[in-house]
Amino acid sequence: MRPTRLTLAAVAVLAAGTTAYLARHWVDAQHGAAIPAPQPLAQVLVAARDLPPGTVIQADDLRFDSWPAATAARLTTRRDGEDVRARFAGQISRRDLSEGEPVTAQSVRRNSAGMLAGMLGADMRAVSIAITNTSAAAGFVTPGDRVDVMLAADLVRTAGGAVPQSGPLVRYAAETVLSGVKVLAIDQSTTRSRDGGAVEGKTATLEVTSRQAQTLAAAAMLGSLSLALRGLETGDASVPAPSFVADTEASQALKAMQGARARTAPAQSGAQVTVNRAGQITAQMFGR
């Protein structure tokens, strides 16, 4: 019996050793497979602190961070023999740059132009309109927001009384003349308040195209302009603005009154003619 026990003990020791070897070999293989090959890194130029739009950048506002070289192909990187930070010093940030965000030639403009001109996109214009707390969302329209510009007009006064009283409106109408335009500044401030609160002012400067600037100039002469703040999840700003909203749509009572007048008014036949009497324009019906 003793030789048998010795044989079994030897077999057990051999099996345990083999198992331990195989287990260690498997762990080593898994450990080696889990470690990816080191990727080459590049030193990318980033903002060393939050830089609001219009900030004149200093060398201390910039630093270099390590980024995977594969993602840094179009970014500004450290170069031997060149002080890249000095090349960007004195330029103006065109938009908000968060700490750690890459700084590129597209995010800054040279200081040869004024601060606001440096913030404008290609072929864009800066136009200011008068605002109040009521017409600018109680001061919560701040630089960097997107807004719709609405026009409210007294059409009877504007058209000199030529608006047909039996038409879809009686006197007033409102419409969106521009959609999704960017607010560059409120008065002379181009940055939001640090606490995120309201920014009160008397003028709002908007970034618009040349055609939109002409639209604003004409709309300001027709009636009062107000800003409607757009949310972050608002859809495409290029969607055409809706048609106007008349006073009869805003007031069901006024619409009902107009309907009653139309039903009781005698039928007229003929043509409507606009008459100018010494600058006083009126609309009159002439029978056939």
User: What's the CA gap between 191 and 56, in Å, rounded?
Assistant: 13
Among 85-99, 191-205, 271-285, the range scoring the smallest mean pLDDT is: 271-285
Per the model's pLDDT, the better-predicted residue between 16 and 176 turns out to be: 176
Tally of CA atoms within 13 A in the half-sphere of 83 that contains its CB: 7
Which percentage of the chain shows pLDDT scores above 90?
17
Task: Report if pTM > 0.85.
Answer: no
Q: Which residue has the tokens 């908000």?
A: 96
* 144: helix, strand or coil: coil
Kindly report the length of the chain.
288
CA dihedral sign of residues 243, 247, 251, 252: negative
Cβ(85)–Cβ(59) below 8 Å: yes
**Strand pairing category for 172-186 and 146-154:** antiparallel
127 pLDDT above the threshold of 90: yes
How big is the chain by its Cα radius of gyration, in Å? 35
Report yes or no: 191 and 135 within 8 Å, Cβ to Cβ: no
In the chain, pLDDT over 70 holds for what percent of residues?
67
Question: Do the beta carbons of residue 162 and residue 274 sit within 8 Å?
Answer: yes
Could you state, in order of their start, the residue ranges of all structural domains in the chain?
41-119, 125-262
- What is the C-alpha to C-alpha distance for residues 202 and 210, in angstroms, rounded to an integer? 23
At residue 248, the pLDDT reads 76
CATH code for the part of the protein at 41-119: 3.90.1210.10
Q: Which of 13-17, 39-43, 137-141, 185-189 has the lowest mean pLDDT?
A: 13-17
Which residue stretches of the chain are H helix?
2-34, 84-88, 115-119, 155-158, 210-222, 247-250, 252-264
Q: DSSP of 198-221, one letter per residue?
A: ----SEEEEEE-HHHHHHHHHHHH
| pLDDT(193) > 70 | no
Backbone angles phi, psi at 72, to 5 degrees: -105, 15
Within 10 Å of residue 169's Cβ, how many Cβ atoms? Answer: 21
Highest mean pLDDT among 3-7, 117-121, 244-248: 244-248
What's the rounded mean pLDDT across residues 91-115? Answer: 78
Q: What is the mean pLDDT of the chain?
A: 77
